[in-house]
């Protein structure tokens, strides 16, 4: 039995934050109804990759959900959402700040209508504090939260991270909050409001950088390239090979001694590099020694030698290599799907429970594909009322 079987979730979200949160809930067995504005989720409207009006991005985080089209600017549309929410356990929303309140669907209103409801709000900066209410996206949060200042090399400009780390970190936090609220309700019968701000969720990832700043009294460069964020571990870098790059780190002196045994380089064996603080002080020299060794060998050769010596290391892979990686395929987090419409990609789930198998994703339908079925099956609306709602543009 899936762990969230019987849990009903309504999502009023867009982009990655809310949709990835509800995707994880769907993989755990929850029934998720995604409410889209008349024009659809912005990520639905990117490149039509599958010939069904959906993009790769949209399917990756929305497969496995029922999708309905609802105009919340119309009273009839808001009434339908209220009826759906009252028939659900969880509402997840990451609309612009204040949008739900402007629709008359803020927490106080929804809680009064259904005290058992759990409302989960994904925000940029939260509901209080000097920046509360400001709009935010992954890029702007990275800018405001020192992610960009600590990414890149010291002699270059600030750089955003390659992946959208902020949205996905925050979505995972929001899932944890929802699961805690469901457990609380199981014991008390009471729902509650769960809030996760993008900024709050990403700041803990700066632990090494903050420590380095404090320990150096602010003298350490903010951008450390591929080196440890606090410049506290050496070697810790990406090193060139004869066919690419490999990442190597030695978090302890024992790791370094084993690496010295592999490199067989008199300079590496020098007493002045025996202890971690001394290696940190001679970081450039240590990197030069390790790089001199890796440049004459292939990634595969290095991987095997380092693995045998129990030294943390990994080849730097490309996106193409990642998507064909047999381990990624075996774990099932990136799934190459096929149905009667053709090939498509979906995310599995990184949450693996021994007694609750993951619910397999199915392709999300075209905009509004499940509207009639949801209104009929979930709310019991007769065909005539559904037709009336459609005639006004509410659905």
The residues, ordered by sequence, that sit 6+ positions from 109 with a Cβ below 8 Å of its Cβ are none
* Active-site choice (89, 167, 287, 370): 167
CATH number of residue 45's parent domain = 3.40.50.10540
Do 330 and 312 lie in a common domain? no
Do 39 and 104 lie in a common domain? yes
Res 270: pLDDT: 84
CA dist 16 → 170, 318, 392 (Å): 10, 23, 30
Put the strands of the sheet holding 236-241 in their side by side order. 236-241, 244-249, 313-315
Do 134 and 236 lie in a common domain? no
Q: How many domains is the chain partitioned into structurally? A: 2
Res 23: pLDDT: 98
Do 75 and 146 lie in a common domain? yes
Do 295 and 351 lie in a common domain? no
Q: What does each of the 395 residues of the chain score in pLDDT, given as a tens digit?
A: 889 999 999 999 999 999 999 999 999 999 999 999 999 999 998 999 999 889 999 999 999 999 999 999 999 999 999 999 999 999 999 998 899 999 999 999 999 999 999 999 999 999 999 999 898 999 999 999 999 999 999 999 999 999 999 999 999 999 999 999 999 999 999 999 999 999 999 999 999 999 999 999 999 999 999 999 999 999 999 999 999 999 999 999 999 999 999 999 999 988 899 999 999 999 999 999 999 999 999 999 999 999 999 999 999 999 999 999 999 999 999 999 999 999 999 999 999 999 999 999 999 999 999 999 999 999 999 999 999 999 999 99
- Tell me if 346 sits within 8 A of 339, measured CB to CB: no
- Residue 218 within any structural domain of the chain: no
C-alpha atoms less than 13 angstroms from C-alpha of 5 in its C-beta half-sphere: 8
Among 270, 290, 316, residue at a domain's last position: 316
Do 12 and 110 lie in a common domain? yes
DSSP code string of 61-75 = HHTT-EEEE--TTSH
Res 269: pLDDT: 85
Put the strands of the sheet holding 31-36 in their side by side order. 66-69, 31-36, 8-12, 90-93, 118-123, 193-197
Among 264, 288, 316, residue at a domain's last position: 316
The residues, ordered by sequence, that sit 6+ positions from 255 with a Cβ below 8 Å of its Cβ are 249, 310, 311, 312
- Verify whether residue 167 is a known catalytic residue: yes
Do 13 and 97 lie in a common domain? yes
Do 50 and 160 lie in a common domain? yes
Distance CA 287, CA 67 (A): 52
Do 75 and 142 lie in a common domain? yes
Q: Which domain, by its residues, includes 282?
A: 226-316
């Amino acid at each position: 039995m899936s762990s969230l079987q019987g849990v009903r979730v309504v999502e009023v979200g867009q982009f990655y934050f809310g949709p990835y949160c509800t995707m994880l809930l769907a993989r755990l067995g929850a029934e998720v109804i995604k409410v889209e504005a008349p024009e659809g989720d912005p990520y639905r409207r990117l490149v039509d990759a599958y010939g069904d009006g959906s993009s790769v991005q949209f399917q990756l985080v929305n497969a496995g959900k029922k999708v309905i089209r609802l105009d919340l600017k119309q009273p009839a549309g808001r009434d339908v959402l209220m009826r759906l929410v009252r028939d659900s356990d969880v509402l997840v929303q990451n609309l612009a700040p204040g949008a739900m309140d402007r629709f008359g669907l803020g927490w106080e209103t929804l809680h009064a209508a259904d005290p058992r409801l759990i409302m989960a709000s994904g925000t940029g900066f939260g509901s209080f504090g000097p920046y509360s209410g400001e709009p935010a996206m992954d890029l702007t949060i990275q800018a405001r939260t020192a992610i960009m200042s600590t990414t890149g090399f010291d002699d270059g400009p600030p750089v955003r991270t390659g992946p959208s780390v902020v949205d996905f970190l925050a979505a995972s936090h929001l899932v944890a909050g929802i699961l805690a609220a469901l457990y609380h309700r199981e014991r008390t019968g009471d729902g509650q409001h769960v809030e996760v701000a993008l900024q709050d969720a990403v700041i803990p990832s700066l632990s090494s950088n903050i420590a380095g700043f404090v320990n150096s009294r602010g003298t350490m460069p903010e951008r450390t390239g591929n080196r440890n964020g606090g410049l506290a571990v050496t070697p810790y870098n990406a090193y060139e090979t004869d066919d690419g790059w490999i990442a190597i780190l030695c978090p302890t002196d024992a790791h370094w001694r084993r690496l010295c045994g592999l490199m067989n380089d008199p300079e590496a064996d020098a007493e002045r590099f025996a202890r971690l603080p001394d290696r940190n002080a001679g970081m450039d020299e240590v990197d030069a020694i390790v790089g001199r060794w890796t440049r004459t060998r292939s990634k595969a050769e290095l991987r095997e030698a380092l693995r045998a010596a129990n030294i943390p290391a990994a080849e730097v892979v490309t996106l193409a290599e990642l998507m064909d990686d047999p381990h990624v395929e075996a774990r099932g987090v990136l799934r190459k799907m096929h149905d009667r419409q053709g090939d498509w990609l979906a995310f599995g789930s990184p949450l693996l429970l021994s007694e609750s198998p993951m619910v397999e994703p199915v392709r999300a339908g075209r905009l509004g594909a499940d509207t009639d079925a949801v209104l009929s099956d979930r709310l019991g609306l007769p065909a005539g009322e559904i037709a009336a709602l459609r005639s006004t543009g509410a659905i």
